Structure 1
Amino acid sequence: MSELYLLKAIRSIQNFMYYAHAKSNRKKQKSLHRISVNKGCTLFPYLLCLSHEDRYEELQMIYSLSHHEYFIELWLHPETEFIIKSKDSTLLHPEYPTKLNTSKELVNFIESPTLKHFNMICTIITPLNHQKFNLEFTSNCKTIPKIPEQNEDAYFLTSKTIGIADGVGGIFYDFGISSKDFSHELMQKCKSIVSEEKDVISCKEVIKKAYNSVSNGGSSTYLLASLKKNRLYVSNLGDCGLLLFRYSDGSRKLVFQTSAKQYNFNTPFQISKEFNKKQLCSRSVSYSMSGNLMNSKDIDSDEYCITVYPGDILVVGTDGVLDNVYTEEIQKIVKLFPKASVEDLSNKILFLAKKRSQGKENTPFQDRMKEANQPWVGGKPDDITVIVSVVR
């Protein structure tokens, strides 16, 4: 009996010590992490290298025979940076976000507040060079038309390329023919080309090939963004826009934004193609202009190339978004990631743009109208489409 009481007493003391230790660490805003790497039975040393507040230390990871993995459990401060070193490589942990440290090296870091709990998870670690040069998008798109069944916005998503187009609404008033069919077919052709093309081609070449194979006539702005290794290539014609956010100094900040390409205010550059016979026969109002739409002789788009990293967030939108929502408001929504999913972010941006387009609150469009000395109050009703993509 005495041995039983002694065992109970020891366990009570151990539980109390653990409780006191945990309470002390939580007061210091630390969280318990179990960082693991599954490498089968390959028994060679793994080191967890920590960097926090000018302190650097290397800790030996423990090998678990039962789980065939290396692991370590420890209490860590938010913003602690870490990498895992093996005999001949440096590894990143796929379950933690990444950022560039002061030496411009890609490292993992502990988020604040911590959202991840690791309970005996066997995780396969991906080498750093694989992470850096084989990036992909995790994307979600939301769209809502100004007029039901008449959405002139179009888009496509793949793991490496995203595209968005905005059919020019003024074409309907000039010719009585919507640009909906043109913008939608243009994006469908782009998706087919990037899915089937074996050799890497530029976004501009994708648009040219798609344009040449489109049968419907009309006019549209567009933006294409494509990942090649750790580079993001962007082709933009008109007033669609792309914003790139990156985690830095404790929050996600805007690091890049495309510029609208316009002839003058509210008149964007666009790609156009003459109407086919079927479209001309079905037009609902007479011409207010003589002749027909002319084919675009050249695609005078803006081309960009940006280095991206895992964890970067792209927000791509038509002018229905960018005319109604300020950049600072989009940034505030993006900061909700990863607690909010990619779908949550796109929904929040869409609903905010829709609300502003129908209201009397200040908007970017109102500001630009004021600069042009034209009276306007509130938002601009329009088709609204937003894509949110996370680089993985």
Structure 2
Amino acid sequence: MHVVKLLLRHNVGGRSLAFDLRAVNLVSHPKRSTCGGEDAFLSMSEVQCVFDGVSWWKEYAGVDSGLYSAALAKFMYSFVEDDALGSLPLSSCELLQRAYDACLSDEIHGTSTALVATLQRPCCAADASCSVSAKFSNCMLDVCSIGDCTSMIIRDGRIVFVSDEQMHSFDYSFQLGQGSADIPVHSLQYRVVVRPGDVLLLGSDGIFDNVFKHDIAELVWKFVGPVCGRYALDFDRPSQYDVATKIIPPDDVLRALSAGVDEVVRVASANARDVKCNTPYSNKAIENGANYRGGRLDDMTLLGSIIDEKFDLDRSVQLAESGVLLPTPYRDWP
């Protein structure tokens, strides 16, 4: 488990939202653990991403299937670090396009699915008129998804948004890279109004093939709900929410978030090894004519973040339970 542990203070300038409270857990396929697996991720206050390298390249072309996913994460990280987002942030699709173009330029071998989430300004009058946009400038969650990774928003214990899979056929997802006709503009794109306290999850198919979405929400909220409830503010009462200097105690919130993310990955790993349980993957297989029961072994990556007002960070930024400094993607660079 990788947990970002920050000393946080509300930003007293312009008000915006961010992914400042976040945690990540990932487990490699048992046969890929020595090479780090094929998933890569990027977890930053500005952007959340999951990339899943396609195993065909290892099985049939002798190419490390994780190279392309890691390259996408690497290039996207460099764009964000170089302030490519600027004062008018690139959309999630535009950010993915830049990473994709960089992979083409460097002739990176392989293909990968991709899921990118950023926070943006409202783009229409209806969105701009909502109560959230009156308080925060970037209340639109912008999601770009190509392939079968999944994003989900949990609000007050309920699922309020889930992205769809994008498949050519069963077990053949849309993907970016060499030999694929799919490109970033073919992605599914969503814009969803979010508010402080929303829990955003991004996961590779190894998670969502082995645990049903409603079970994922219940597992996470079992830990996050009670803690968030203690610090919940009445969003519709500005006199209460507009205390810009309020100190947010993040430790227990992060512990709860990491516990919820850990629990989902634990259940997904157990289901993947269970040859008799009912899973989303077995249901899809049966719908496509296969006689299949149980889960599916795969790399598993789950990013969790609690959307909240953007913080000013004190000089000391600490890490809990991890020797890996987020947001460096999990893999060596190709």
TM-score between the two structures when normalised by the length of structure 2 = 0.69
Aligned mates of 2:43, 2:11 — CA distance in 1: 25
Aligned mates of 1:344, 1:374 — CA distance in 2: 35
Deviations 1:12-59, CA, capped at 9 Å, x for gaps? xxxxxxxxxxxxxxxxxxxxxxxxxxxxxxxxxxxxxxxxxxxxxxxx
Q: Select which of 257, 278, 281 maps to 1:365.
A: 281
- Structure 1 residues 226 and 173: CA distance shift in structure 2, 3 A: same
* SS of match in other structure, 1:192: helix
Aligned mates of 2:66, 2:111 — CA distance in 1: 9
Counterpart code for 2:34: E
Aligned mates of 1:388, 1:154 — CA distance in 2: 15
> 1:164 touches 1:223 (CA, 8 Å); kept in 2?
yes
Please list every run of 5 or more consecutive structure 1 residues that lacks an aligned counterpart in the other structure: 1-123, 274-292
Matching of residue 255 in structure 1 with residue 160 in structure 2: yes
Deviations 1:205-244, CA, capped at 9 Å, x for gaps? 1111112222321100010000121111000000000011
Q: CA deviation at 1:295?
A: 7.1
* SS of match in other structure, 1:159: coil
Aligned mates of 2:11, 2:73 — CA distance in 1: 34
* SS of match in other structure, 2:33: coil
The more displaced of 145-154 and 339-348 is 339-348
Q: Select which of 141, 144, 156 maps to 1:235.
A: 144
Residue equivalent to 2:109? 217
Q: Select which of 153, 157, 161 maps to 1:244.
A: 153
Q: Select which of 197, 202, 219 maps to 1:311.
A: 197
> 2:220 touches 2:264 (CA, 8 Å); kept in 1?
no
> 1:135 touches 1:230 (CA, 8 Å); kept in 2?
no
Q: CA deviation at 1:194?
A: 2.0
Q: CA deviation at 1:171?
A: 2.2
Aligned mates of 1:231, 1:153 — CA distance in 2: 27
- Structure 1 residues 296 and 162: CA distance shift in structure 2, 3 A: same
What aligned pairs does 1:253-292 form with structure 2 within 5 A after superposition?
A: 253-273=158-178
- Structure 1 residues 325 and 297: CA distance shift in structure 2, 3 A: closer
Residue equivalent to 1:192? 78
Aligned mates of 2:176, 2:180 — CA distance in 1: 10
Which 4+ residue blocks in structure 1 deviate beyond 3 angstroms? 124-127, 133-137, 293-299
Aligned mates of 2:47, 2:180 — CA distance in 1: 29
Aligned mates of 2:181, 2:10 — CA distance in 1: 51
TM-score between the two structures when normalised by the length of structure 1 = 0.59
Matching of residue 169 in structure 1 with residue 169 in structure 2: no
- Structure 1 residues 307 and 265: CA distance shift in structure 2, 3 A: same
Greater gyration radius: 1
Q: CA deviation at 1:195?
A: 2.4
Q: CA deviation at 1:328?
A: 1.6
- Structure 1 residues 149 and 295: CA distance shift in structure 2, 3 A: farther
> 1:166 touches 1:220 (CA, 8 Å); kept in 2?
yes
- Structure 1 residues 298 and 159: CA distance shift in structure 2, 3 A: closer
Q: Select which of 92, 114, 119 maps to 1:203.
A: 92
Residue equivalent to 1:141? 24
Residue equivalent to 2:299? 383
Residue equivalent to 1:350? 265
- Structure 1 residues 181 and 378: CA distance shift in structure 2, 3 A: same
Residue equivalent to 2:247? none
Aligned mates of 2:198, 2:24 — CA distance in 1: 17
Q: Select which of 366, 370, 374 maps to 2:290.
A: 374
Query: Aligned residues: percent identity?
Result: 25
Higher RCO (CA 8 Å, separation ≥ 6 residues)? 2
Residue equivalent to 1:183? 69
Aligned mates of 2:148, 2:139 — CA distance in 1: 26
Aligned mates of 1:241, 1:149 — CA distance in 2: 26
Counterpart code for 2:267: L
Deviations 1:163-220, CA, capped at 9 Å, x for gaps? 1100011222221212211111111111111222124111111111112222321100
Q: CA deviation at 1:258?
A: 0.2
Please list every run of 5 or more consecutive structure 2 residues that lacks an aligned counterpart in the other structure: 1-8, 121-137, 228-254, 309-334
Relative to its length, the structure with more helix (as a share) is 2
Deviations 1:107-126, CA, capped at 9 Å, x for gaps? xxxxxxxxxxxxxxxxx888
Aligned mates of 2:90, 2:267 — CA distance in 1: 36
Deviations 1:87-137, CA, capped at 9 Å, x for gaps? xxxxxxxxxxxxxxxxxxxxxxxxxxxxxxxxxxxxx8888x965x33444
